[in-house]
Amino acid sequence: MVETEQILRDFGLVVGAGLISQAIAALLRLPEMVMLVAMGALIGPSVLGLVENPLEGVGAQLVFTIGVSLILFHGGTEISLRVLSRTAVGLGLLVLPGVFLTAFIVALAVAPIFGVSLLVALMVGAVLAATDPAILIPLFDEIRLKPKIAQTVVAESGFNDTVGTVLTLAVAGAVTSGQVTLSVPAFEFVRGLLLGTLIGVVAGVVLSYLVSFRRGGAWRESPAVAILAVVALGYFSVETLGGSGYLAAFIMGLIVGNMELLHLGQHDEHAYLLEGFASQVSEIAVLLVFVTLGINMPFETLGEYLAGGLVVMAVFIFVARPLTVLACLLPDRRGRWARNEIIFLAWCRETGVIPAAIGALLLSENVPGADIAVSMVALAVLVTLLLQATTAGPLARRLGLVEREAGDQLPVGDH
């Protein structure tokens, strides 16, 4: 009984802190995620000690699994396959070799700065390599970025968490065993990608049919039930089989957002209900995710690695990301990437929930160098939120990449 009361009290404090953060962010015109993390740090054990929601606990795991899945699902519904078809080459390069290139460049800085082996440094680089959809999706909604740029970066962040996670765990296994054998991790990577994609497509088609105007569309008037049930069931089914639940959730949203390609459709009022619910649930998930992330900021270890960490962050932001973007987008002739688009993509590099969860996993398994990885992730979250998330809007406007008016945006699937 006492434990139940504690959970309910903590949940109430997290939600209340999130609502206060949103009000402060609106008043000060700051990115919402910055205030959510700051408020989480304030009420967490490092400052006031009002709430404890450790990353390895049930509460945080539910927030990160279901919450991030719903954020990814919502992001997927706003992606147009017609737009992505024009940027598919660049996107594919960013998602696959781009993650490896970012990890390697960061590793070249981590190894000499912290005096660790290149393998441990590569693990740290791999943890940092994935971009964060939980930050990018609400951020781009707010600044009304043009579809080509917004959808490419959101799709990159939706896909590359799988690549970053598998690469991290593969290198961590080699660090722990002392043997560089990548055949098993390579198999796990391919299996995770295929299972996540397969189940995401199947679940997305089923969900599209259930909310469509076809005879079998039993949940067309109550999409909330359909979305929660299918996303949760799909996520845990994929994870049980060894795939990527986050990838499956994103692909489900991608299928639903482009359901007209399956010759399925919705009446306007039902489409409005689905979009409204997905948007509201995503907003709640963002609140819970980032307050929880703030609660778990490892300030005690940040001080130890701060000086070297700032150098790593400089390499991460000003060297690794720009070189990765140039290497991946210049070969994409069909994408017709303009200089202002490449500049924005090179600057747009937020880190958040998924790297934090991976870092916590490494720490819980006592992998050598995990303390460095966790500290670098925490520093990357703070730096990218304060430096890049706050300047993304002004930079996009300066580069002419913002939609003129909210009403100019085309409906989902018709960008």
In this prediction, residue 56 carries a pLDDT of 66
Would you place residue 409 in the very low, low, confident or very high pLDDT band (cuts 50, 70, 90)? very low
181 φ/ψ angles, rounded to the nearest 5 degrees? -120, 110
CB 106 within 8 A of CB 99: no
H/E element, 390: helix 390-398
Q: Does residue 375 surpass a pLDDT of 80? A: yes
Give CA separation, 256 vs 144, 219, 265, in Å: 21, 14, 10
pLDDT at res. 32 = 79
Q: What is the mean pLDDT of residues 193-219?
A: 80
Q: Among the residues of 223-350, which ranges form H helices?
A: 223-241, 245-257, 268-295, 299-315, 321-329, 339-347
Q: Could you tell me which residue, 22 or 189, shows the higher pLDDT?
A: 22
**Amino acid 412: pLDDT:** 40
For residue 361, pLDDT over 90 is answered with no
Q: CB of 255 within 8 A of CB of 205? A: yes
What percent of the chain lies above the pLDDT cut of 90?
18
Residue with tokens 């006031």: 48
Lowest mean pLDDT among 13-22, 68-77, 145-154: 68-77
Give the best-scoring range by mean pLDDT among 320-334, 350-364, 381-395.
320-334
pLDDT at 315 over 90: yes
Q: pLDDT value at position 341?
A: 93
Q: What would the pLDDT profile of 244-254 be if each residue is shown by its tens digit?
A: 777 888 888 88
Name, in order, each residue with C-beta under 8 angstroms of 411's C-beta and a sequence gap of 6 or more: none
Q: How many CB atoms lie within 10 A of CB 34?
A: 21
pLDDT tens track for 80-95: 888 788 888 998 899 8
Tokens in use for 87?
């940027």
Domains of the chain: 60-408 (1.20.1530.20)
Dist. CA 223–CA 372, nearest whole Å: 43
Q: 37-65 pLDDT, tens per residue?
A: 889 889 988 888 888 877 667 777 777 77
Amino acid identity at 70: L
| Interval 106-157: pLDDT, tens | 999 999 999 999 889 999 999 898 776 666 666 676 777 888 888 888 888 8
Would you say residue 185 has pLDDT above 60?
no
